[in-house]
Amino acid sequence: DAGITQSPRHKVTETGTPVTLRCHQTENHRYMYWYRQDPGHGLRLIHYSYGVKDTDKGEVSDGYSVSRSKTEDFLLTLESATSSQTSVYFCAIRHSGQQETQYFGPGTRLLVL
């Protein structure tokens, strides 16, 4: 258990509204990641962070932004949600010194109507 929580766990929203998902970790890990998971696509990286205020884009970053103002929190924002962003979102941390091992939060299920 890497002490990762995500909130909310479930959310229903309407197209065009902004949505922010929060990932919180308690073990001071430097690297944090946001993924989305859709059937047939596995896990796709949205954004990642390698330190406070240090973030970079993943393979499916369009329509998403992130912020990391504290080590323990990594926020994912959908500026204007679309139906194609309906998905399950996972936050992960990279455990230093364990050969790229990532530990995942429980996920947020987002439905955009």
Contact flag: residue 97 with other proteins (CB under 8 A) = no
Instruction: Report the distance separating Cα 109 and Cα 17, nearest Å.
Output: 16
Separation in Å, CA 107 to CA 34, 52, 62, 77, 91: 10, 22, 20, 15, 7
d(CA 15, CA 112): 6
Nearer to other proteins (CB atom), residue 14 or residue 106 = 106
Interface mask toward other proteins for 25-44; x: CB under 8 A: ------x-x------xxxxx
Q: Does 7 bind other proteins (CB under 8 A)?
A: no
Q: Which residue has the tokens 């258990």?
A: 1
Would you count residue 105 as binding other proteins (CB under 8 A)? yes
Which of the ranges 11-19, 65-73, 74-82, 101-109 carries the binding residues for other proteins, by CB under 8 A? 101-109
Q: What is the three-class DSSP state of 101?
A: coil
Stretch in the footprint of other proteins (CB under 8 A) among 11-19, 20-28, 72-80, 102-110: 102-110
Beta-ladder partners of 7: 22
Among 24, 45, 52, 111, binds other proteins (CB under 8 A): 45
Measured from the Cβ of residue 25, the count of other Cβ atoms closer than 10 Å reads 20
Residues that bind other proteins (CB under 8 A): 31, 33, 40-45, 48, 50, 56, 58, 90, 92, 94, 98-107
